[in-house]
Amino acid sequence: MSQKYFFVCRNCGHRIESFDEWFRLGQKCPECGKNFIDTKYTTDLDKLKKLFQTKEDVKSLWHYFDFLPLNHKENIVSAGEGVPQIDRWQFLEEVASKEFNTKCKVYAMRHNTGNATRTFKDIAGTLAASVLKECGINEYAVASTGNTANAFSHYLAMAGISLYVFMPEDAVKENIASVSSYGQKAVICKGDYAFAKKIAGEFTAKNNILMTIGNTDPLRVEAKKTWVYEWLRQVGETPTVYFQALSGGTGPIAVEKAFDEIEPLNIVSKRPRYISVQPSLCDPMTQAWEKAKANNFPKGWQNDFPKIPNPKTNVQTLATGVPGTYPIIADITKNSNGEIISFDESRLVDIARLVTFKTGEKIGPASAVAMGGFFDALKKHLVKDGEIVMINMGEGVDRASFFLQEYAYNEDFVSSVDEIKPFSRKDLEFRLWRNILK
């Protein structure tokens, strides 16, 4: 099979023929030294359009094999990761209409139904392991706050690839244990996520080991672009507003890549506005965005962002205090007429309780950030009549036992039957809505 993809540097346009060449070049353009590249395919786009029409059960993103940067199917490393499940959550539509006089359609994209690590990092894990296997890579490294660590540990172990995972010292213990359980190397760095990335970079340079380049890595971007494919395949439409909890920002980059890719098909009339949501105790991109907006986006505003050392956020998977991809996310957001907002972390548990109360789904803290952002956006009139909303519920609560323990809110601790208090689900729901909408 001939090479079906190549890369083009987004800065200078230099062409790079394959991942083999990209890795040999140290994952940098040889002409300008930048590491943000665009993946191009030689496959006829009409074939992609036909894939959107598939109605039978689709097992994974490999349904779109001809539009992913892997040449040979025998190198696929899969663990039953599935595809995101997209549900229409009408209870959110009802509250938008009743409380905010906004009539909109609301979808939730969930990633906790597969058989691997049950987060949206699994799709990057399967693509990364497959590409590294095809290229004959035996060692790899990532810096991670948790979800990427788990997904890559799982998939690279399946491929027989040794993985070094660099994590901040406040990483959730379950994530550290999970990495080790796959036989991979967990390196706990005595500092924050930015420090972990620094140590990872020094270690891999010293030992000539390949390392992910982060949020612009084509291994991540090309995997996550398939979300848009699934919007078209499962519900037949794309959102006008896209919500996601924001740490580094691969999601918006990947969604934009997908729309760039399908634009020639003329099947989508409008791209979404991006409303990215950060936790209130680690929101450097929100702070930078608000400052730029207040000053009417002066020249060079994309490069003006704060650095938060050792962020004290309770949402460790979003603890990116030094947002190196802010210039990219800032441009994507502004070009879409979007927003970057913060959500008060003290309200996350009630958000999670409400989702479970209404749907039965237990969501993790990062998903609660995205959902909370939706409610705040309604309050700020950032969602308009007639819009289609997609909320990316990035993870369930599987590896956040500390957060699940906080769900508890309706117990009686008794020593006699007389101490049991009356109970009404209707009253309980009222209290949840009151706490969230206040």
- 8 A C-beta contact, residue 171 and residue 188: yes
Please state, in angstroms and rounded to a whole number, the distance separating the CA atoms of residues 210 and 218.
14
Overall average pLDDT of the 226-240 stretch: 96
- The pLDDT, as a whole number, for residue 1 is 47
Q: What percent of the chain has pLDDT over 70?
A: 99
Q: List, for residues 133-176, the tens digit of each pLDDT value.
A: 999 999 999 999 878 888 999 999 999 999 999 999 988 788 88
Q: List, for residues 190-205, the tens digit of each pLDDT value.
A: 999 999 999 999 999 9
Closest Cα partner for 41 from 19, 60, 66, 16?
Answer: 66
CATH 3.40.50.1100 fits 85-115+219-406, yes or no: yes
The phi, psi pair for 153, rounded to 5°, reads -60, -45
What strands, in cross-sheet order, belong to the sheet with 15-16? 15-16, 5-9, 37-41
Residue 129 has pLDDT above 70, yes or no: yes
Residue 112 has pLDDT above 80, yes or no: no
Please state, in angstroms and rounded to a whole number, the distance separating the CA atoms of residues 30 and 159.
29
Spell out the SS3 assignment of 56-79: CCCCCHHHHHHHCCCCCHHHCCCC
Lowest-confidence segment of 74-78, 149-153, 347-351 by average pLDDT: 149-153
Q: What is the pTM of this model?
A: 0.95
Q: List, for residues 245-288, the tens digit of each pLDDT value.
A: 999 999 999 999 999 999 999 999 999 999 999 999 999 999 99
Domain boundaries, the chain: 85-115+219-406
**Alpha-carbon distance values, 401 to 51, 110, 208, 278, 362 (Å):** 38, 19, 37, 21, 11
